[in-house]
Amino acid sequence: MPITIADVAARAKVSKTTVSRVLNGKGELDETTAARVRAVIDELGYVPSARAVNLARGRTRVVGMLVPSLTWPWMGEVVQGAVDVLEAEEYGLLLFTCNRGADSMRQFNAQVAAKSFDGLLVIEPEGTFDYIATLHARGLPMVLIDDRDQVDGQIPSVGTTNHTGAASAARHLLEIGRHKPLVITGPSRFGCTQQRSDGFASVFADAGHPIAEERMLLGDFTFAAGVDNIRRAIDAGIEFDAVFCHNDISATGAMQAILDSGRRIPEDVAVVGFDDIPLAAHTQPPLTTVHQPMREMGESAARTLLAHFEGTPLPNRPTIIPATFTVRASTAS
């Protein structure tokens, strides 16, 4: 049978509370008594439960992470970045998704109430911001990994540069002589959609090529949105020599529809995406795209939370990690 704290207490002729205090370094203890307890621990080979010791210290050494779904193309990069930091500091990760809607949130709330983790990393599931903000206001340490440009400093966050990332895509297309782009956006309710639209359109406008409303096509970040919008543009007789998509998945759909129409990429139409998910390097042709630093965002959010556990105040301004631009064959022969 495994050795228990009660066995140590009985052999050392002290209470279980005294043994617990020796293990956790809490309270004032006679050094002779403490030495005797440590000797018995060594003699019996007692190994305390790491969870029990951490709880006694007021820590679980576990971080929670709430995300919408693990099926999002870049989600693995964010989670891996956070895990790399947490594991290096001997923290565990308790991962929650919202795949089952209200049932998932009830399960998550039960874990919050049970204080199953020391702090929380969040990629906000739609419709949960008010709830998350309430948890933060009640004192739960958290950092939001903000992929949508929707947080105004209310919650500590790590984000990226959607506006300048889209502007870099526009400058690249102008540099290769493309003046008639289509833009396939993300959902209008997301802040990142407005940021990417504005960043791209402002560069073309400044260059004397304002983008007409008919060229701004509403999408939803899906493959089908890329296919359908390109087909509708062709059917409507809209001339275009480039396509900028607000994510890589819709860009792959756009590429499929362009190739199906008999056009060549990039000779006839240059295509640029946004995200730089692993698939982007393996499309045919490989996709030029704005690289979102998703792994770095996960790392930064985890480091910020761990620093807070050690006494550093959580920042009251977003931490911004710049997007970069990756040129591949979908725009350059």
Q: What is the pLDDT of residue 203?
A: 98
Instruction: Say if residue 301's pLDDT is above 70.
Output: yes
Q: What is the mean pLDDT of residues 127-150?
A: 86
- Residue in the structure block whose two tokens are 């919008």: 229
- Is residue 56 within 8 Å of residue 20, measured between CB atoms? yes
Q: Which residues pair with 274 in a beta bridge?
A: 290
CA 185-190-193 angle, to 5 degrees, is: 30
Q: What is the pLDDT of residue 325?
A: 97
Q: What backbone torsions phi and psi does residue 188 show, to the nearest 5 degrees?
A: -65, -20
Domains, the chain, with CATH or none: 5-56 (1.10.260.40), 62-160+294-323 (3.40.50.2300), 162-292 (3.40.50.2300)
Q: What is the mean pLDDT of residues 234-251?
A: 97
Averaged confidence pLDDT in the chain: 91
- Is residue 245 within 8 Å of residue 273, measured between CB atoms? yes
Instruction: Say if residue 137's pLDDT is above 60.
Output: yes
Instruction: Say if residue 54's pLDDT is above 60.
Output: no
Number of residues assigned to the chain: 333
Q: How far apart are CA 241 and CA 274, in angstroms?
A: 18
Pairing of the two strands 324-326 and 288-291? antiparallel
Q: How far apart are CA 174 and CA 281, in angstroms?
A: 22
Cis? peptide before 141, omega within 30° of 0: no
The pLDDT confidence band at residue 115, using thresholds 50, 70 and 90, is: confident
Instruction: Say if residue 333's pLDDT is above 70.
Output: no
Residue 264: alpha-carbon gap to chain centroid: 35
pLDDT tens per residue, range 13-51: 888 888 878 776 666 678 888 888 888 888 888 776 555
**What proportion of the chain, given as a percentage, has pLDDT over 70?**
92
- Is residue 241 within 8 Å of residue 180, measured between CB atoms? yes
Highest mean pLDDT among 60-64, 112-116, 152-156, 269-273: 269-273
Instruction: Say if residue 147's pLDDT is above 90.
Output: no
Q: What is the mean pLDDT of residues 273-289?
A: 96
Structure tokens given for 24: 């956790």
3-class secondary-structure state, position 240: coil
Q: What is the pLDDT of residue 153?
A: 65
Largest CA distance in the chain: 90
Q: What is the pLDDT of residue 6?
A: 85
The pLDDT confidence band at residue 324, using thresholds 50, 70 and 90, is: very high
Closest of 78, 76, 85, 136 to residue 321, by C-alpha: 78
Task: Pick the more confident residue, 146 or 318.
Answer: 318
- Residue in the structure block whose two tokens are 């060549």: 264
- Is residue 92 within 8 Å of residue 62, measured between CB atoms? yes
Q: How far apart are CA 73 and CA 71, in angstroms?
A: 6
Instruction: Say if residue 285's pLDDT is above 70.
Output: yes
Q: What is the pLDDT of residue 266?
A: 97
Q: What is the pLDDT of residue 58?
A: 61
